[in-house]
Amino acid sequence: MSVHVASVTSSTIVVAVDVGKTSAMLSVTDAARHRLVGPSEFAMTGSALAEAIAAAAAALPSMAQVKVGVEAAGHYHRPVLDHRWPDGWEVLELNPAQVAEQRRVQGRRRVKTDVIDLEAITELVLAGYGCPVADRDVVIGEVTAWAVHRSRRVATRTATKNQLLGQLDRAFPGLTLALPDVLGTRIGRLVAAEFADPARLAGLGVTRLIRFAATRGLALRRPVAERLIAAARDALPTRDGVIARRILASDLALLADLDDQIHSAETTLESLLPASPYATLTSVPGWGVVRVSNYAAALGDPHRWPGPRQIYRASGLSPMQYESAHKRRDGGISREGSVALRRALIDLGIGLWLNESAAKNYAQALKDRGKHGGIVLCALAHRANRIAHALVRDHATYEPTRWT
């Protein structure tokens, strides 16, 4: 989240809101740190929020400049931000890391209560911090939802594949020796689904196996078929083979369903992305729909970010630096930031590294200077970050000559 420095005057009134899952706390404080309302707790419902806002408005002096500070809290704070606040009230979203740091500044690093959080939110708003909440394009929310949905399904599919391989080793020992990537190929999926019993595959024979694969639309080469039949005839019997094959069949059905869901999510993202501010990013070599969608989901509304430096810093890829008494000691990557944004930028950097000639030359030059892979990857993520921000800002397509 970017840092926004807002104008604060002596007439500024801060409405601080600390949001939880089922309830929230609210306080109203003036610029002189005098508490006008609260802290008061209300339920996370429309009527309760409206009553809390009405109580806050009733305590405001005339001609007050009202700023509402809401700490980001996963997805719980979104209904509060999207609520229709009174006209003239400026709603600001605060980074939870900033709120935690403010507690530390106040000497309360190890103490976290809702009341202390409200005080930290108030101090940050009075100091001019916070990101203004503007109307967000609906398509950005849709892209974010589908990208996150796909990522969860991919993680589940990976875990399911690992479990499947364990069951497959019990059902058909030695199969991975004949076909290393069993679940990554269509013929491997066919063998796992239809011939998890090695005795059945051994009785089929090479020629009939090739014909069986052909009826399923697969072209199975004879050397591969011979390896599979040989592995089936030489497989060691296992006591748990029967139950392993039953569980394997259930897991294969789950894997097929996950594949369908991932494909559906990618198809939806492909239709949504052209209507989003990130549409032109797919013109960059190596940046497909999935990579761009993950970046869009991690970044959110691009208008929140004043420049690429703020985005890069928010990802946690900026190096740590310590300097005191004319002595400087630099550390590694801080990793204090958005994990999703950090992964998205690194993935964009990998896409450049593998597909864009100028990025390949840049990476090779860094390697020739003795930089190890982690530094090279961070440098390419930094390059990808600047390219992505410029293309979204200018609504422009990628021009290789501009980034050589």
Lowest mean pLDDT among 12-16, 154-158, 270-274: 12-16
- Side-chain-side CA neighbours of 44 within 13 Å: the count stands at 16
- Mean pLDDT (whole number) for 4-8: 55
Residue 328's pLDDT band (cuts 50, 70, 90): low
For position 348, what pLDDT does the model report? 94
Each residue of 197-231: pLDDT tens digit? 888 888 888 899 899 989 888 888 899 888 889 88
- Mean pLDDT (whole number) for 78-105: 80
Is residue 24 scored above 60 in pLDDT?
yes
Lowest mean pLDDT among 1-15, 105-119, 172-186, 318-332: 318-332
The overall average pLDDT reported for the chain is 84
- Mean pLDDT (whole number) for 313-327: 65
Question: CA gyration radius for the chain?
Answer: 28
Count of other CB atoms within 10 angstroms of residue 5: 9
Residue with the bigger pLDDT between 91 and 270: it is 270
For position 71, what pLDDT does the model report? 84
Residue 288's pLDDT band (cuts 50, 70, 90): very high
CA distances from 243 to 32, 137, 167, 172, 251 (A): 72, 51, 9, 12, 12
Is residue 364 scored above 80 in pLDDT?
yes
CA distances from 134 to 20, 55, 304 (A): 22, 24, 9
Is residue 158 scored above 70 in pLDDT?
yes
Lowest mean pLDDT among 46-60, 130-144, 246-260, 346-360: 130-144
- Secondary structure of residue 230 in the 3-state scheme: helix
pTM: 0.73
Domain with CATH 3.30.420.10 in the chain: 12-133
Task: Measure the CA–CA gap between 38 and 357, rounded to whole angstroms.
Answer: 60
Under 8 Å between Cβ of 344 and 294: yes
Lowest mean pLDDT among 45-49, 258-262, 271-275: 45-49
Is residue 32 scored above 90 in pLDDT?
no
- Mean pLDDT (whole number) for 178-195: 85
Instruction: Express as a percent the part of the chain with pLDDT over 70.
Output: 89
Residue with the bigger pLDDT between 134 and 197: it is 197
Task: Measure the CA–CA gap between 361 and 372, rounded to whole angstroms.
Answer: 15
Tell me the sheet residues that pair with 40.
26
What sign does the CA torsion over 36, 37, 38, 39 have? negative
Backbone angles phi, psi at 120, to 5 degrees: -65, -40
Each residue of 231-251: pLDDT tens digit? 888 888 778 888 888 888 888
Domain with CATH 1.10.287 in the chain: 141-270
Residue with the bigger pLDDT between 224 and 103: it is 224
Each residue of 336-360: pLDDT tens digit? 678 889 999 999 999 999 998 888 9
Tell me the sheet residues that pair with 72.
none
DSSP state of 196: -
Select the highest-mean-pLDDT range: 95-104, 109-118, 237-246: 237-246
Task: Measure the CA–CA gap between 146 and 299, rounded to whole angstroms.
Answer: 14
- Mean pLDDT (whole number) for 139-168: 90
One-letter amino acid identity for 373?
A: G
- Name 23's Cβ contacts closer than 8 Å, sequence gap at least 6: 41, 42, 43, 44
Task: Measure the CA–CA gap between 269 and 180, rounded to whole angstroms.
Answer: 32
Is residue 287 scored above 60 in pLDDT?
yes
For position 294, what pLDDT does the model report? 94
The architecture (CATH level 2) of 141-270 comes to Orthogonal Bundle (1.10)
For position 388, what pLDDT does the model report? 93
For position 383, what pLDDT does the model report? 92
- Secondary structure of residue 216 in the 3-state scheme: coil
For position 387, what pLDDT does the model report? 93
Residue 404's pLDDT band (cuts 50, 70, 90): low
Paired tokens of 167: 């069951």
The architecture (CATH level 2) of 12-133 comes to 2-Layer Sandwich (3.30)
Residue 292's pLDDT band (cuts 50, 70, 90): very high
For position 2, what pLDDT does the model report? 46
Is residue 372 scored above 90 in pLDDT?
no
